[in-house]
């Protein structure tokens, strides 16, 4: 599904105006912003792209059917800044770059990991511990220019503590084991029509099990005041602190900030975990895009 640009934004159709695109792509969705020198922008949404799950040709196919038909002439687009989940290694970056280059053959394509997007959005050109807690999770120590240290996030099969996928896995585990309190069993079965066979099928046989499990996290968000679910969310974030955040040498010296819907919507739980460790989360926002816009407007001579 795609959202159309703002009405009346005819600047996109002026051949003399230099344009850049910024893309923040998670495993679930990609947010696209097109900017000119006057900071005018059009916004679009496509599905998420992850090179671990999609080929360059698949990425191009989706763009050519869902995005390119509603865009202005591609010749206007001089540079594309793509930040995406799964783009930490050169080989993965090249998959995405190839798909984007085929879609925008006249543009200069920049592909970076979504961790760098989080760091630039949260800290600009200042140092800090940047964290992602959305569908997936990740952390890094950012020195204001580069990611200096990144405790590798191996994905949901081997980790992803702090993420919506990990939280959904904990919830699904307790449901299929009938470990949820009775009142929560009833609410969960009202929340979703999925039962044991459906859950097992979507986790083990269907594509993108991380997306499916993350789709269960809103149940915890909705009922986070319930002591059982508060504790479930607490354990999710506590694992992220224990296994990642607290392992950075400067985690007590630098600000710690989060990007991602799970962090933003479960901020009271996140704050409790941090406080119990003598730490403070001074910012948790759902979307990195506004910070990225500021960063690139300062960096790019549009």
The 3-class secondary structure across 233-285, one letter per residue, is: HHHHHHHHHHHCHHHCCCCCCCCEEEECHHHHHCHHHHHHHHHHCCCCEEEEE
pTM of the model: 0.82
Phi, psi angles (nearest 5°) of residue 126: -115, 155
Whether residue 33 has pLDDT greater than 70: yes
Q: How far apart are CA 50 and CA 86, in angstroms?
A: 6
Q: How far apart are CA 285 and CA 152, in angstroms?
A: 22
Calculate the CA dihedral of residues 298, 6, 115, 148 and round it to 10 degrees. 0
Residue tagged 């984007």 (tokens) = 100
Whether residue 251 has pLDDT greater than 90: yes
Q: What percentage of the chain has pLDDT greater than the value 90?
A: 72
Say if CB 107 and CB 82 are below 8 A apart.
no
Q: How far apart are CA 269 and CA 230, in angstroms?
A: 7
Tokens of 195: 């039962």
**Among 22-36, 118-132, 197-211, which stretch is predicted with the lowest mean pLDDT?**
22-36
Q: How far apart are CA 141 and CA 63, in angstroms?
A: 33
Whether residue 207 has pLDDT greater than 80: yes
Q: How far apart are CA 162 and CA 34, in angstroms?
A: 31
pLDDT number for residue 302:
47
- For domain 122-285, the CATH architecture is 2-Layer Sandwich (3.30)
The residues that bridge with 131 in the sheet, in sequence order, are 139, 258
Q: Is 4 helix (H, G, I), strand (E, B) or coil?
A: coil
Sign of CA dihedral 118, 273, 242, 200: negative
Which contiguous run of DSSP H or E holds residue 22?
Answer: strand 19-25
Please report, for the chain, the start and end positions of each structural domain, with discontinuous segments joined by +: 10-119+289-299, 122-285
For residue range 87-111, what is the model confidence (pLDDT) as tens digits?
988 999 999 999 999 999 989 999 9
Interval 7-15 mean pLDDT: 38
- For domain 10-119+289-299, the CATH architecture is 2-Layer Sandwich (3.30)
Mean pLDDT, the chain, integer: 89
pLDDT number for residue 176:
95
| Side-by-side strand order, sheet with 147-149 | 147-149, 137-142, 128-133, 256-259, 281-285
Whether residue 301 has pLDDT greater than 70: no
DSSP alpha helices (H): ranges in the chain? 56-66, 90-103, 114-123, 164-176, 182-191, 196-204, 209-214, 217-222, 227-243, 261-265, 267-276, 289-299
Question: In sequence order, which residues have a C-beta less than 8 Å from that of residue 36 and are 6 or more positions away?
Answer: 11, 12, 17, 18, 19, 302
Q: How far apart are CA 187 and CA 183, in angstroms?
A: 6
Specify the DSSP class assigned to residue 10: G
Specify the DSSP class assigned to residue 41: E
Residue count (the chain): 302
CA distances from 130 to 120, 122, 136, 147, 218 (A): 9, 7, 14, 9, 23
For residue range 153-203, what is the model confidence (pLDDT) as tens digits?
887 888 899 999 999 999 999 999 999 999 999 999 999 999 999 999 999
């Amino acid at each position: 599904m795609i959202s159309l640009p703002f009405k009346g934004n005819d600047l996109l159709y002026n051949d003399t105006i230099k344009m850049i695109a910024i893309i923040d792509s998670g495993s679930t969705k990609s947010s696209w912003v097109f900017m000119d020198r006057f900071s005018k922008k059009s916004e679009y949404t496509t599905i998420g792209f992850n090179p671990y799950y999609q080929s360059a040709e698949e990425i191009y196919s989706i763009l050519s059917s869902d995005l390119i038909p509603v865009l202005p002439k591609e010749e206007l687009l001089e540079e594309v800044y793509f930040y995406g989940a799964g783009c930490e290694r050169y080989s993965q970056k090249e998959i995405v770059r190839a798909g984007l280059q085929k879609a925008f053959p006249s543009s200069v394509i920049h592909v970076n990991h979504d961790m760098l997007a989080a760091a630039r959005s949260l800290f600009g050109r200042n140092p800090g511990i940047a964290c992602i807690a959305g569908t997936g999770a990740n952390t890094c120590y950012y020195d204001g220019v580069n990611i200096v240290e990144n405790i590798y996030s191996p994905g949901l099969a081997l980790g992803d503590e702090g993420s919506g996928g990990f939280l959904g896995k904990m919830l699904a585990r307790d449901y299929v084991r009938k470990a949820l309190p009775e009142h929560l069993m009833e609410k969960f079965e009202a929340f979703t029509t999925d039962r044991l066979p459906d859950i097992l099928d979507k986790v083990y046989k269907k594509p993108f099990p991380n997306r499916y499990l993350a789709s269960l996290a809103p149940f915890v968000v909705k009922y986070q005041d319930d002591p059982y679910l508060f504790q479930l969310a607490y354990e999710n974030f506590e694992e992220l602190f224990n296994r990642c955040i607290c392992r950075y040498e400067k985690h007590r010296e630098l600000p710690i900030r989060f990007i991602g819907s799970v962090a933003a919507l479960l901020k009271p739980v996140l704050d409790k975990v941090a406080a119990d460790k003598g730490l403070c989360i001074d910012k948790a926002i759902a979307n990195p895009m506004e910070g990225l816009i500021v960063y690139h407007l300062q960096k790019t001579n549009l």
